[in-house]
A and B are shown apart, each in its own frame.
Chain A
């Protein structure tokens, strides 16, 4: 880069005594070939552009009930969502027999409707079979998370502050047997 900008800066350097003594060579029409520099710059640019991943992972917050307390809940305010090993969803309202749920969309509207019915008092309990893939577990949780937005809106129209009561609980052997027959 020696003297890259010397054409413009030339007169300014004349400060100080020794600068005047030196014979300044005038470089008229000095041209530096920038091609290799630009080549390398573009090479690096493409490398970094291709190697960066722009989608950073995001998170989904989960809370699990602590070991100690066993809370009694009103049967009428309890919604249990079962997911069987073959990823089929069942719901059970207020201790009723489990009923199949067709798809995830229906699960979302179910969560909204039931929460509206008992005015925010619903406790959702999720029970997954041991062989359900984790990806599907996240899909179900995601669907319930999506229901939250709408619920908060609907409940605030009735001046109720949304409080989520939600738990991931293990499936009991009896429940596993029962689901097998459905």
Chain B
């Protein structure tokens, strides 16, 4: 109390390093940020993936065909969804004459399909691009029979290697 408070007139703090670091972080996060794709934007479900212990294999970015099994949040129906992540592959596969989906659906990224359509799509995909990898992204609450049916389709299409998409155990 008895101390005389020193008035600091014209006190200047050099903010340069702080701002440098801030901008560095900003650019880092800006470049690493991945935003929701179009297909994820118009889907009416959210997938809670099953958890598995840490594995080094990550989901590939290219040549990926994703089969999703999800529960619709509005109607509570379980259904299959199929999407290819490359535009070129989509053009070939979705517009193939043997694929029997409504004309207006062909331009979409993600298709809601039944098992028959799924089988044709998987076969077409394998014809279009032999390097294609299949990944199954399903909700952890899905009953196994959906997975079994889907694996049956994969077996019939000779796509015997595929991936389960999981989340890392925390």
Contact = CB atoms under 8 A, between A and B. Distances in A.
A associates with B: yes
Interface of A: 34, 38, 41-42, 44-45, 48-49, 51-53, 55-67, 128-135, 137-139, 141-142, 145-146, 168, 170
Given A66-B158, A130-B143, A34 B15 contact: yes
Interface of B: 15, 19, 22-23, 25-26, 29-30, 32-34, 49-59, 69, 135, 137-148, 151, 154-156, 158, 160-168
Contact of A131 (B15, B58, B145): B145
Contact of B151 (A53, A59, A142, A168): A168
Given A41-B19, A52-B34, A133-B144, A138 B164 contact: yes
Q: Is the interface of B mostly helix, strand, loop or mixed?
A: mixed
B52 A51 contact: no
Given A58-B54, A65-B160, 9 more contacts: A38-B15, A55-B168, A57-B59, A60-B55, A62-B163, A66-B158, A128-B144, A131-B144, A141-B52
B15 A139 contact: no
A66 B155 contact: yes
Contacts of B54: 58
10 contacts: A52-B34, A58-B58, A58-B59, A58-B165, A66-B155, A132-B144, A134-B139, A135-B140, A138-B50, A145-B55
A64 B22 contact: no
Given A59-B165, A130-B143, A38 B19 contact: yes
B163 A60 contact: yes
B140 A134 contact: yes
Contacts of B59: 56-59
B147 A48 contact: no
- What are the 8 tightest A-B residue pairs by CB atom distance, in nearest-first order? A135-B140, A48-B29, A138-B50, A59-B163, A130-B145, A135-B50, A142-B52, A60-B164
Contacts of B49: 57
A137 B138 CA distance: 11
Contacts of B69: 134
B148 to A, nearest CB: 6
B23 A57 contact: no
Given A57-B166, A60-B52, A60-B55, A134 B19 contact: no
Contacts of B139: 134
A63 B154 CA distance: 10
B140 to A, nearest CB: 3
